[in-house]
């Protein structure tokens, strides 16, 4: 198998109703223009979106799964960070 | 010539261009150079089949002999297909397929844009729907022509070889005969010289950007519009028609 492969790109799509772009998957393409065209062909065949972002996967920095304990677990015990201790006045709607 | 039958012939020529090119692109299904491009090629193929269905429906309607789009697509003999020779040429390598597509898209886009103004309402409606698809097809094929031409030595050579081979088939895109003259006189269709000028502008600018050259020779191959096809057409139709010939009127 050739090692000279096209770079990997992550694809984000905003749907008609959605406000933000959501990650939908990845694909390979030689450059950004063709990555957008490939994303259009692979991920919006059934009217899934009205806007596409692509970013080279190499440019994404991710947390390490091994760090999950120190990164995320501490917040599990901080229930006071959730605004659940307030009584909502009767007159307030849409909360 | 009766205007109705001239319009039937005109629409049939367009339908056959779409169907035969779609069939060729469909041959790439599962064989694309990369998964993403495999999907892109078959998407374009499906767009063209959709356009062919609309155009065959219109043609069948104009003919008024009770034939439907399936009968027009699958149950005619080779001499009755009126597509240009360009679209029936074999896929060759990816460069050959993409250059064939580029030459066709650069022709189809200005044609659809002009047909949107046609007083033949159904034809104008089909053009309006198809023009968006075709604009994307041209963008996609142009991008690839630029990248192959201005890419590696090998991709440049393959792209130039494809141009040198296909150029002789491009003149036929602008073929006109009594059918076109009759419809043009009535303002039903655009002037082919205008379409050709737009085609030439697109082709010149993209090939220049791609550092590719237009061949100097002036060979012109034609015949498709009158039903005289290249030796490749019979094999293509055998594939295309097999199911309807073996099991007439089957549906799935």
CATH number assigned to the domain comprising residue A58: 3.10.20.520
Say which residues have a Cβ less than 8 Å from residue A59's Cβ, sequence separation at least 6.
none
Task: List pLDDT tens digits, range B177-208.
Answer: 999 999 999 999 999 999 999 999 999 999 99
Of A85-94, B50-59, B213-222, the poorest mean pLDDT is in A85-94
For chain B, give percent helix, strand, coil, nearest 5: 75, 0, 25
pLDDT, position A3? 62
What pLDDT shows up at residue B140? 96
Residues B155-158: contacts with CB under 8 Å, at least 24 apart: B155/B95, B156/B211, B156/B212, B158/B93, B158/B94, B158/B95, B158/B96
Give the Cα separation of B22 and B13 in Å (integer).
14
Q: Do B140 and A42 touch (CB under 8 A)?
A: no
Residue in this structure with the two tokens 């069948």, named with its chain if needed: B60
| Strands lying side by side in the sheet with A51-56 | A22-28, A8-14, A51-56
For position B212, what pLDDT does the model report? 98
Q: DSSP character for A76?
A: G
Contact state of A42 with B39 under an 8 Å Cβ cutoff: yes
Please answer yes or no on whether B36 and A38 come within 8 Å at the CB atom.
yes
Residue of B36, B143, B147 lying closest to A41 (CB–CB): B36
B202 φ/ψ angles, rounded to the nearest 5 degrees? -60, -50
Q: Band of the pLDDT at A91, cuts 50, 70, 90?
A: confident
Residue A72 lies in a domain: yes
Least confident of A39-43, A74-78, B186-190: A74-78
Nearest to B43 among A28, A34, A41 (CB): A41
Tell me, yes or no, whether A67 lies in a domain: yes
pLDDT tens column, B9-67: 999 999 999 999 999 999 999 999 889 999 999 999 999 999 999 999 999 999 999 99
Q: Are B18 and B52 in contact (CB under 8 A)?
A: yes
pLDDT of A2: 57
Minimum distance, in Å, between the CA of residue B40 and any CA atom of chain A: 6
Does the residue A94 lie in any domain? Answer: no
Residue found by looking up tokens 């984000």 in the block:
A12
> Which residue in the set B34, B40, B43 is minimally distant from A28, CB to CB?
B34
pLDDT(B1) > 60: no
Nearest CA in chain B to A46: B43
Higher pLDDT, A18 or B220: B220
* Nearest-neighbour CA in chain B from A48: distance (Å): 15
Residues B104 and B132: their CA atoms lie apart, in Å, by: 15
List pLDDT tens digits, range B80-135: 999 999 999 999 999 999 999 999 999 999 999 999 999 999 999 999 999 999 99
Partner B, chain A 31-60, Cβ-Cβ below 8 Å: 31, 33-34, 37-38, 40-42, 45
Looking at residue A76, its pLDDT comes to 81
Going along chain B from its start, the domains and CATH numbers come out as 3-214+224-246 (1.20.1260.10)
Residue A45 lies in a domain: yes
State the pLDDT at residue B87.
98
In a domain, residue A91? The reply is no
| CB neighbour list of residue B82: distance below 8 Å, 6 or more residues apart | B9, B12, B13, B16, B224, B225, B226, B227
Provide the shortest C-alpha distance from residue A57 to chain B (in Å).
16
What's the structural domain count of chain A?
1
The average confidence (pLDDT) of chain B is 96
- B147 contacts in chain A (CB < 8 Å): 30-31, 34
> Among B232, B252, B251, B250, which Cα is nearest to B21's?
B232
Cβ contact A37–B147 (<8 Å): no
Mean pLDDT in residue range B128-145: 97
Q: What is the ipTM of this complex?
A: 0.77
Mean per-residue pLDDT, A65-81: 84
């Amino acid at each position: 198998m050739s090692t000279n492969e096209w770079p990997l790109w992550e694809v984000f799509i905003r749907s008609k109703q959605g406000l933000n772009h959501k990650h939908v998957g990845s694909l390979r393409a030689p450059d950004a223009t063709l990555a957008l065209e490939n994303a259009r062909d692979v991920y919006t065949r059934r009217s899934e979106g009205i806007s596409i972002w692509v970013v080279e996967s190499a440019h994404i920095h991710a947390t390490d799964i091994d760090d999950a304990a120190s990164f995320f677990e501490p917040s599990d015990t901080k229930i006071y960070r959730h605004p659940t201790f307030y009584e909502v006045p009767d007159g307030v709607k849409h909360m | 010539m009766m205007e109705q039958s001239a319009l039937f012939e005109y629409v049939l020529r367009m339908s056959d261009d779409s169907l035969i090119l779609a069939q060729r692109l469909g041959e790439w299904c599962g064989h694309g150079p990369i998964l993403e491009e495999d999907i892109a090629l078959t998407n374009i193929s499906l767009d063209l089949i959709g356009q062919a269905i609309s155009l065959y429906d219109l043609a069948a309607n104009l003919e008024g002999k009770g034939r439907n789009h399936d009968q027009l697509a699958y149950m005619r003999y080779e001499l009755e297909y009126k597509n240009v020779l360009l679209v029936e040429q074999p896929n060759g390598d990816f460069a050959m397929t993409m250059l064939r597509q580029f030459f066709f898209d650069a022709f189809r886009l200005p044609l659809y844009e002009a047909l949107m103004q046609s007083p033949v309402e159904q034809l104008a409606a089909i053009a309006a729907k198809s023009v968006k698809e075709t604009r994307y097809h041209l963008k996609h094929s142009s991008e690839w022509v630029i990248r192959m031409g201005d890419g590696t030595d090998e991709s440049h050579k393959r792209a130039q070889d494809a141009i040198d081979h296909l150029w002789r088939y491009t003149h036929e895109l602008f073929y006109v005969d009594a059918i076109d003259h009759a419809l043009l006189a009535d303002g039903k269709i655009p002037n082919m010289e205008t379409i050709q000028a737009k085609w030439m502008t697109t082709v010149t600018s993209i090939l220049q950007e791609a550092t590719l050259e237009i061949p100097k020779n002036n060979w012109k191959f034609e015949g498709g519009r009158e039903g005289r096809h290249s030796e490749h057409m019979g094999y293509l139709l055998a594939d295309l028609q097999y199911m309807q010939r073996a099991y007439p009127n089957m549906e799935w």
